[in-house]
C-alpha cells in the first residue's frame, strides 16, 4: 500500500474514540451483578450481558434483567440480553469425596441413583445406550481420559488412560459419540419461557448437534428473538454448514469443543467457524478463556492478549468473558483489558484500515449469481472506497441489512438506523455497527436526518462528506436489502 492510499484509508476511518467494531459480551455473576459494577461494565464497554442458566436462578434473572436495562439506560448504551440455556450437559453426580483415578485402573460409570461404592455417578441415565466398547470418555474438561471396555446397561466399565482427581459436578464429554439425549431439557423449556418473559434479545442453545436442534428452539420463540447456536460438539462441527443456515448467530465455545476435539485442531476449527459465519452474515462469538488468568490477577498474560488480538483478526463479531466477569476478582479490569487489546488491533495502521484480512471476499467468487443482499453489500464496500466515504448508513427494520453489510467487514463504521429499541439492542452484537432509533414514522427523509445528526455528533463525518446509504425498499418489508444511495452530509 502506498503512503497516499494509507492516508486515504486513515481519513476514511475517523472514529468515535470509544467505539470498538468488535463487541464485548460479559457473563454476569456474583462478581458483577451489583448495580454499581453493572453500571461500570456498561460504561467500560459491555455490549451484551450474558446470563448463564447453569448458575442463575429465575428470580435472579428477573432482577438482573431489570438492573441491566436500568444501567444501560443510565449510560446511554444499547445493551442486549443473552440467555444461555444449560442444555444437556452430562456431569459427574454427587461424590462423597473426590476420587483419585490412576492410569490402568478400572472404573464404572452408572446413573447417579444406581451408583454404589467407588462407582462414578453420572447425570445422564442413558449413557450406556450411547456408548460402545472402544469409545473415549473425558472427565473434568478433558483432564481425565477413560476408554470403554464393556457396556452392561446401565453400567459402563472403563479403563483409566489418563488419571487425575475427580470431584462432583465435573463435565463428561463423549468425543465422537452420537448422543441421543434431547436438545432441550425440561429446565431449558422453563428457561425459554423466562427469556421471553424478560424480553431477552438472544437465546443461546448449548450442545447443538444438528440444525434440527436449532429449528426446535426456533419453533418455540417469536421471530424477533434471535437464536445463537453454540458450537461445542464434534457433531456440530461436522454439521456446521446446516447449523449456520438454521441459526441467527453462532458461538465458538472452546471449552467443551476443546474436550471434544484434539487440542491442536481447535485453532483451525475456530477459523473455519468464523469464516463460515462471516460468509453467511451470521454474527459469530469467540468464547472461553479469553482472559482466564484475570479471574485472579489484575492483568492478562501476553498469550491471552495475543489470543484476543487473533480473534479480532480472525473476524469475530464479539469476544466473550465468562469467569472473568462472573466470579473473578477483577471484572471491570478484565473489560478494560479487552478494550485495550481490541482498540490497539483495530487502530493498527495498515492491518485493518485497508480492509480486514479475514478472507471475506468483497465480491464472492464463483460463476453463480449471488443473492441481491450480498451484491448490494459488495457494491456498498466498493462505493465507500471509491468515494472515500467516512461511514456507511443502513436503514433497517429487522437488523438484517446491517448484518449483511457488516459481514463484508467494511473499513468504516456502520450507522444503523432502525425503528425499534429491540433491534437496536440486537445489533449490539454485530461487528462494526452503531445503532440508533428513529422514533418518527420511518421514512427515508426522517431516518437520514437522524443519521446525519448522529454522524456529526459522534465525529464520524463532517459537512460535505459523501455517505453511502443502503436499505431495503420498501422499508416495512423485513429481510430485503436492495438499494444503495449516496447522500452528502
CA distance 17 to 443: 30
Q: Which of 91, 271, 275, 336 is catalytic?
A: 91
* 377 neighbors 404 (Cβ within 8 angstroms): yes
* 125 neighbors 156 (Cβ within 8 angstroms): no
In this structure, the chain runs to a length of: 489
Q: In Å, how far are 277, 395, 472, 475 from 443, measured between CA atoms?
A: 31, 10, 12, 8
Q: Which of 89, 230, 233, 385 is catalytic?
A: 230
Could you tell me how far CA 62 lies from the centroid of its own chain?
Answer: 22
CA distance 340 to 294: 14
CA distance 146 to 234: 18
H or E stretch at 452: helix 444-457
Tell me, yes or no, if 4 is annotated catalytic.
no
Pairing of strands 136-139, 144-152: antiparallel
Tell me, yes or no, if 275 is annotated catalytic.
no
SS3 271: helix
Q: How many CB atoms lie within 10 A of CB 242?
A: 15
* 156 neighbors 72 (Cβ within 8 angstroms): no
Only one residue has cell 453426580, namely: 93
Tell me, yes or no, if 91 is annotated catalytic.
yes
Tell me, yes or no, if 110 is annotated catalytic.
no
Name the residue among 427, 426, 424, 392 with its Cα closest to residue 409. Answer: 392
The string of DSSP codes covering 448-485 is HHHHHHHHHHTTS--TT-EEEEEE-SSTTSTT---EEE
Q: In Å, how far are 19, 146, 374, 390, 433 from 91, measured between CA atoms?
A: 40, 15, 43, 51, 39
CA distance 349 to 344: 10
CA distance 147 to 110: 15
Name the residue among 245, 201, 197 with its Cα closest to residue 23. Answer: 201
Q: Which of 27, 44, 288, 396 is catalytic?
A: 288
Instruction: Output the furthest CA–CA distance in the chain (Å, rounded).
Output: 79
CA distance 484 to 317: 24
Q: Which of 50, 170, 282, 452 is catalytic?
A: 50
The residues that are catalytic are 50, 91, 230, 288
Amino acid at each position: 500500500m502506498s503512503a497516499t492510499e494509507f492516508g486515504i484509508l486513515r481519513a476514511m476511518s475517523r472514529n468515535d474514540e470509544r467505539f470498538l467494531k468488535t463487541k464485548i459480551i460479559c457473563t454476569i455473576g456474583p462478581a458483577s451483578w451489583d448495580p454499581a459494577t453493572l453500571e461500570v461494565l456498561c460504561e467500560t464497554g459491555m455490549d451484551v450481558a450474558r446470563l448463564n442458566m447453569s448458575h442463575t436462578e429465575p428470580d435472579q434473572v428477573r432482577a438482573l434483567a431489570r438492573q441491566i436495562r436500568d444501567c444501560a439506560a443510565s449510560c446511554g448504551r444499547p445493551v442486549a440480553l443473552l440467555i444461555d440455556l444449560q442444555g444437556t450437559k452430562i456431569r459427574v453426580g454427587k461424590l462423597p469425596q473426590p476420587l483419585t483415578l490412576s492410569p490402568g485402573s478400572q472404573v464404572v460409570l452408572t446413573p447417579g441413583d444406581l451408583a454404589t461404592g467407588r462407582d462414578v455417578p453420572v447425570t445422564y441415565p442413558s449413557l450406556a445406550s450411547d456408548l460402545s466398547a472402544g469409545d473415549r470418555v473425558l472427565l473434568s474438561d478433558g483432564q481425565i481420559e477413560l476408554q470403554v471396555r464393556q457396556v452392561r446397561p446401565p453400567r459402563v466399565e472403563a479403563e483409566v488412560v489418563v488419571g487425575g482427581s475427580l470431584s462432583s459436578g465435573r463435565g463428561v464429554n463423549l468425543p465422537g459419540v452420537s448422543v441421543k439425549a434431547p436438545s432441550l431439557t425440561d429446565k431449558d423449556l422453563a428457561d425459554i419461557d423466562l427469556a421471553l418473559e424478560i424480553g431477552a434479545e438472544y437465546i443461546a442453545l448449548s450442545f447443538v448437534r444438528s440444525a434440527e436442534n436449532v429449528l426446535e428452539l426456533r419453533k418455540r420463540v417469536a421471530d424477533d428473538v434471535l437464536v445463537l447456536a453454540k458450537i461445542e460438539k464434534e457433531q456440530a462441527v461436522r454439521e456446521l454448514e446446516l447449523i449456520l443456515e438454521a441459526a441467527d448467530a453462532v458461538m465458538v465455545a472452546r471449552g467443551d469443543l476443546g474436550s471434544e476435539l484434539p487440542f491442536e485442531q481447535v485453532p483451525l476449527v475456530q477459523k473455519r467457524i468464523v469464516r463460515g459465519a462471516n460468509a453467511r452474515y451470521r454474527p459469530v462469538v469467540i468464547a472461553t478463556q479469553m482472559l482466564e488468568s484475570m479471574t485472579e490477577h489484575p492483568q492478562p498474560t501476553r498469550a491471552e492478549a495475543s489470543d484476543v488480538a487473533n480473534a479480532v483478526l480472525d473476524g469475530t463479531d464479539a469476544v466473550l468473558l465468562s469467569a472473568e466477569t462472573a466470579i473473578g476478582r477483577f471484572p471491570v479490569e478484565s473489560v478494560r483489558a479487552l478494550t485495550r487489546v481490541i482498540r490497539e488491533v483495530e487502530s493498527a495502521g495498515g492491518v485493518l484500515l485497508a480492509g480486514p484480512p479475514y478472507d471475506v471476499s468483497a465480491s464472492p467468487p464463483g460463476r453463480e449469481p449471488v443473492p441481491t443482499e450480498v451484491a448490494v453489500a459488495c457494491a456498498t464496500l466498493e462505493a465507500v472506497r471509491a468515494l472515500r466515504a467516512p461511514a456507511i448508513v443502513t436503514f433497517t427494520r429487522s437488523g438484517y441489512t446491517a448484518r449483511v453489510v457488516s459481514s463484508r467487514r467494511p473499513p468504516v463504521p456502520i450507522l444503523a438506523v432502525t425503528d425499534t429499541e429491540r433491534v437496536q439492542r440486537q445489533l449490539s452484537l454485530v461487528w462494526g455497527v452503531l445503532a440508533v432509533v428513529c422514533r418518527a414514522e420511518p421514512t427515508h427523509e426522517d431516518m437520514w436526518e437522524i443519521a446525519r445528526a448522529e454522524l456529526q455528533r459522534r465525529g464520524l463525518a463532517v459537512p460535505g462528506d459523501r455517505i453511502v446509504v443502503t436499505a431495503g425498499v420498501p422499508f416495512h418489508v423485513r429481510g430485503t436489502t436492495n438499494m444503495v444511495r449516496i447522500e452528502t452530509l
